[in-house]
Amino acid sequence: MKLALMMVVAISGATWAVAGETQSTAGDLAKLQGKWEGRAGDAKAIRVTLDVTGTNVNVLVHTPQGLKIRAKGSLKLDESTTPRSLDWVKFSCSDQQELPEIAGIYKVENDAFTICNGGFNGARPSDFKPGDGPLADVLVFRRPATATAGKPSTGAALAKVERKDSKSSDH
C-alpha cells in the first residue's frame, strides 16, 4: 500500500488536459513540454519520468524493486494564483484504477518543475513544505541529461581513429 501511495505521489506531477476543457500550451504549460525526471519516496529511490506533449503527459515510475508503473490523467494549471495552483483530476494508472482528485501548488524555475501536493482529499498547500499523509509531499523534476553528455563527439572519436591509423601506417 505504501508503495502504491508513493507511486501516486510521483505520478501526481503527471498530466495536463481536462475532458471538455482546453488549456493552451502557452505560459507555464509551454515551459513544461518535453521530458522531466524526478525522485520520490522517503529515500528518493523511486524514479519518475514525465513526458509532456501538448496538454497530455505520460508518466513512468520505476520502483527500487524493479516495477514499472505507467499512468496518465489530467492537470489544470492556474497561473493567476500565488503560489500558482494545479489540480490533478481524472487520474488513473495503467490498470484503469481511478485516483481521487488532488490539489497542489507548483513553480517552474530555470530547469526545475517543483510541485507540492495536498494529498488525498487534502487542502491545497500554501507553501512548498511536505504535509501530513499520503501524497502531501514536495517533488522536484528536472530535464534529463542528454544521452550524449560526457561522451566524445563524433568528430573527436574520428580524430582518435585517424591518429591511431596514422601511427600504424608509419611502421
Query: Does 52 have pLDDT greater than 60?
Result: yes
Handedness of CA 117, 123, 129, 133 (dihedral sign): negative
Cell of 26: 502557452
Average pLDDT of the chain is: 75
Give how many domains the chain has, as a whole number: 1
Cα 103 to chain centroid, rounded: 17
Query: Does 80 have pLDDT greater than 60?
Result: yes
- For position 89, which CATH number holds? 2.40.128
Is residue 27 one of the residues assigned to a domain?
yes
Q: Pick the more confident residue, 124 or 71.
A: 124
Q: Pick the more confident residue, 3 or 122.
A: 122
Confidence of residue 20 (pLDDT cuts 50, 70, 90): very low
Domain that holds residue 77: 2-146
Is residue 13 one of the residues assigned to a domain?
yes
- Short-list 58, 45, 48, CA closest to 142: 48
Q: Averaged over 155-161, what is the pLDDT?
A: 36
- Short-list 146, 141, 120, 142, CA closest to 131: 120
- Residue 87's identity, in one-letter code, is D
Is residue 75 one of the residues assigned to a domain?
yes
Candidate from 18-22, 97-101, 109-113, 128-132 with smallest mean pLDDT:
18-22
Is residue 156 one of the residues assigned to a domain?
no
